[in-house]
Amino acid sequence: MDNQLEMKVKRMRQKGDAQKAYCCMTEAPSPWPVALCQCRDWVTDNLGTHVKGYHLETRQGEVAGHIYFALSEKALVPYQIEPNVGVLYCEWVQKRYQGQGWGRYLFNNFLSEMKAEGVKGILVEGTDREGSMHFSHYSGRGFKMILEQGHRKLLYLPISQEEVAVKPIEMRIKPKRESPVEILILNGYMCPYEAATLIAVRLVAPEFGEQVKLEDVWLTPETLNQYGAAKGIFINGRRKLTGGESEEQIRQAIREEL
C-alpha cells in the first residue's frame, strides 16, 4: 500500500458524492455515458434510503473505489430479510489500485462503521463469474454461503448475530408465448453496464411496431413484491439479456420470440 497516495474513505452524504459514483466506469472514457448519468441520477435520488455508500478517494478527490449498500429494511433486492442487516450491492476498486490493500482498507472502514451502528451482519449476493462480485472474494473474508440459486450465491458475514433470517422472494414473472411480444424493463439500482442495455432496448423495441409491447417500470418496494425481481429485462417473461449486448443482439433476442 502506497501511503504517499493518502487515500481516505468518505461516506456518501451529498448529491455531489452521488454524482461521482461508479468509479468502475471512469478508469477510461465510458462507452456508455448516458447510462452512467442515469445510474448516478438514481443514486442521487435514493441516497440515504435505498442506497448508501462509501468512496475510496485520492488526495485529489478522485474516486478510486466504492462500496454501495443499504440496510435490509430499504434494500431493493429479491429477498425477504430481517431488519437491521447490511446488504452489500456492489464493491469495486479501480484496477490500477488493485493488489495494494486498498480494497481491504475500504471494506474494513465500511465494516467498522456497520459494527458501530449495531448492524447484525452483512449480506452479499455474489456470483460464480470472474470479475463480477465472485463469491470466493467474500468467502476469503469470512462470509458464509447460505443460499445458492444458479449463478447467484448469497453469503452472510456475522457481526453481532451468527445467523440471519432470509428467504428469496418468489419470482412472479412467468415465461409465456404470445403476441405481441412483451418486454418488461425493471429499472432500479444497477450498474451502467446493465443500464446501457436498457437504453438500447428502448431504442430497438419501436422498430418492431405493434409486434412488441414495451413496459418500463422503475423499481420500488411495491414493484419488487409485484414482480419478485429487483432488476432485469424480460422478453415474454424470460431474462434473455444480462448487460452489454449490442443492438443487433437485442433484435435477435426479440426475433426469437416472434
What angle is formed at CA 105 by the lines to CA 67 and CA 28, rounded to 5 degrees?
55
3-state secondary structure of 193: helix
CATH code of the domain containing 33: 3.40.630.30
Q: Looking at residue 58, what is its pLDDT? A: 93
pLDDT, averaged in runs of 10, over the chain (258 residues)? 72 94 83 85 93 94 95 94 97 92 95 97 88 83 91 93 95 89 84 85 94 91 91 91 87 92
In a domain, 173, yes or no: no
Do 186 and 235 reside in the same domain of the chain?
Answer: yes
Domain CATH code at residue 187? 3.40.30.10
Q: Both 9 and 128 in a single domain?
A: yes
**pLDDT in the model for residue 162:** 96
Q: Say what the pLDDT of residue 133 is.
A: 78
206 beta partners: none
Question: What are the Cα distances from residue 6, in Å, to 53, 54, 68?
Answer: 20, 16, 22
- pTM exceeding 0.85: yes
Whether residue 188 sits in one domain with residue 160? no
Residue 174: inside a domain, yes or no? no
- 142, 168, 194 - which closes a domain: 168
pLDDT for position 234: 94
- The number of distinct structural domains making up the chain is 2
Identify the domain containing residue 71 by its residue range: 3-168
Cα–Cα distance measured from residue 56 to residue 23, given in angstroms and rounded to the nearest whole number = 10
